[in-house]
Structure 1
Amino acid sequence: MILQTDFVAAFITGLLGATHCIAMCGGIACILGSRANNSSNKLLVSIGFNLGRILSYSIAGAIVAGSIQAISQVHQSFYMLVALQWFAAIMLILLGIHLTRWWSILTPVEQLGKGLWSKVQPKASKMLALQHPAASLPLGMLWGWLPCGLVYSTLVLSASQAHWLNGAGVMFSFGLGTFSVMLLAVLLGQQLTKLMTNRVLQVCSGLSVLSLGIYQVVTLL
C-alpha cells in the first residue's frame, strides 16, 4: 500500500510541479518545437525528448534506491528507511514552498548537481545542434540530469523504496506526471510558457504539493 501511494505521490508531484518544469526546461522545449518543419516532426521530437528525460530519471531512481538497498542489506537498518520516508515527506513540503516562489528554499540543493551538469552540458549543447528528430531522445536523456529541486525531492522518495526497481518505478511515475505538460511545451512553445508563469497558477501548484507533503507526514504518524 505504501509503495502504491509513493508511485501516486511521485506522479502527482510531477504533474503539479509543471510550472517548475516549464521554468527549467521550457526554453529548450521552445527551441526544439520551433526547429520542427511540420506537425509530425514536432510530435516526434517532443515524444523523443520527454522519453529521454523519463529514462534518465528512472536510471537515477534505480541508482539511489539500489545504493540504499545495498546499504540496508549490510546493516539491516529499518530505522534508516523510516528516516528516509520522513525526509521524503519533508522534502515535498519544502518543494511546495519552493514552487510558490515565496521562498526559493531548494536553490542551494539544486547547486549540488552543478558539478555533474558541467560535464553533461557540453554534450547536450552538441546534441542540441543536431537537426534530426532522432537526436531528441539522447538530448532528453542528457537534459534529464539538469540540476532540479523538483527531481531531487522526488529522488529522496525514490531512495526510500530501498529497491532499485521500485526506485526506478517511482521516478518513472514522476516523469509521467511531467510528460503531458512538457509534451505541450514543445508543441505550443511560448503560449504554454506564458500560461505556466502565471503567479496564481504557481502558487496553487506549490500549495498543492505542500498539501501532498503534509499528507505524507500524516500517513507516517
Structure 2
Amino acid sequence: MSALNLLPVFAVGLAGSVHCVGMCGGIVGALSGALKPSVPRRTIRIVPDTSTFPAIDLDGAARVLTYNAGRIASYMLAGALAGALVNGAGTLAFAARWQAIAYLLANAMLMALGLYLMNAWHGLARVEAAGNVLWRRLLPAMRYLLPADTLPKAFALGALWGWVPCGMVYSVLLTALLAGSATGGATVMLAFGLGTVPMLLALGLAGAWLRQAMQRPAVRAACGVLVLGFGVLGLVRHAAGLPHGWLDALCLVAPA
C-alpha cells in the first residue's frame, strides 16, 4: 500500500483509540505507577515552578511507550500472517472474487466499528467474544509480567495484550488481508497501531482525567462518525466505480 492509503488507516487508529481507553486504560495507568514508592522517579517539568502542570514521570512514559511497542509488534505479526495468507492464495482461480468479498467485508466492518464507537450497535462485541478462545490460553502468562516494573516486562505485556479480542483490530486486519503480502499486511497494522499511540501515551501521562473525557458520549460519537464515514465511502466507491486519486486518502483499501 502507498503512504496515501496508510493515512486513513492511521486515522482509524487515532479515532478508534477512544475504544482503547476503555480496554487498555487500566493497564496503561498501572504501567505509569508500576515502580515501588521507595524507588526514586525521574521526572521533567514542562512549565517550571508551577503546580498547574505536574511533572512528567519519565520512567512511566518509557514503560508506556515500550508497552505500546510490544502491542504494535503483535499487530504487525497478525497483519503479516493475514497478508501472507492472501498472497499464498493469490494464484487460486477464485482470488479475484475472494478479494471483492473481502473488500466489501472490510468496509462493512468499518461501518460496524463506527456504530460500535457511537454506542449505536454492539454487534462487534460478539466478534470480540469469538476471540476469547485464544485469549484464555494467553491469559495465564500475564501473571508472570505483573507488575510491569521493567522495560522488558512492559514490552512482553504489550505483546501479549496485542492479542486481546478487539473488534477494532479485527476490522483493520481485513484491510491487512487485502494488502497482498506479508510486508504490506504488517505495514497496514503498523500504521493502525501508531494511530492508537498518542491517546494511550497521553492516557499514561494524564491518567483518570483523560480516561473520563474520552468516554464522553459526544467524543465517542464524533470518532464513530469518522470511522463510519470511511466505511460508507469505501462501499460507495465500490458500487459507483469511482476513480482513484484524492479518494485514496479517504479509503482504506482500493477496490478489487
Which bracket does the TM-score occupy, shorter chain normalised? Answer: over 0.9
Query: Would the aligned equivalents of 2:112 and 2:121 in 1 still touch at CA under 8 Å?
Result: no
Q: Deviations over 1:7-45 (max 9, x none)?
A: 222111100002101011001011111224442211210
What displacement does 1:129 show?
A: 2.7
Query: Would the aligned equivalents of 1:81 and 1:162 in 2 still touch at CA under 8 Å?
Result: no
Q: 2-side partners of 1:184 and 1:69: how far apart?
A: 37
Q: Tell me which amino acid in the other structure corresponds to 2:16.
A: G
Structure 1 pair 145/173, CA: closer, same or farther in 2 (3 Å)?
same
Q: Tell me which amino acid in the other structure corresponds to 1:175.
A: G
What displacement does 1:214 show?
A: 1.0
Q: Which residue of 2 aligns with 1:25?
A: 24
Q: Which residue of 2 aligns with 1:12?
A: 11
Q: Which residue of 1 aligns with 2:198?
A: 180
Q: 1-side partners of 2:100 and 2:118: how far apart?
A: 28
Unpaired runs of at least 5, structure 2:
36-40, 43-56, 240-256
What TM-score does the superposition give when structure 1 sets the normalisation length? 0.94
What TM-score does the superposition give when structure 2 sets the normalisation length? 0.81
Query: Would the aligned equivalents of 2:148 and 2:157 in 1 still touch at CA under 8 Å?
Result: no
Whether 1:49 aligns to 2:49 is no
Q: 1-side partners of 2:73 and 2:115: how far apart?
A: 27
Structure 1 pair 192/163, CA: closer, same or farther in 2 (3 Å)?
same
Whether 1:211 aligns to 2:229 is yes
Query: Would the aligned equivalents of 1:3 and 1:161 in 2 still touch at CA under 8 Å?
Result: no
Of 176, 183, 192, which residue of structure 2 is paired with 1:158? 176
Q: 2-side partners of 1:3 and 1:130: how far apart?
A: 37
Q: CA RMSD in A?
A: 1.5
Query: Would the aligned equivalents of 1:65 and 1:167 in 2 still touch at CA under 8 Å?
Result: yes
Q: Deviations over 1:134-155 (max 9, x none)?
A: 3111111111001001100100
Whether 1:67 aligns to 2:67 is no
Whether 1:92 aligns to 2:110 is yes
Q: 2-side partners of 1:176 and 1:52: how far apart?
A: 12
What displacement does 1:103 show?
A: 1.7
Q: Percent identity?
A: 31
What displacement does 1:196 show?
A: 0.9
Q: Tell me which amino acid in the other structure corresponds to 1:157.
A: T
Q: Deviations over 1:147-181 (max 9, x none)?
A: 00110010011111121111111111000100111
Q: 1-side partners of 2:95 and 2:238: how far apart?
A: 17
Moved more, 122-131 or 196-205: 122-131
Q: 2-side partners of 1:4 and 1:86: how far apart?
A: 22
Give the helix-richer structure, 1 or 2: 1
- Structure number with higher relative contact order (C-alpha < 8 Å, ≥ 6 residues apart): 1
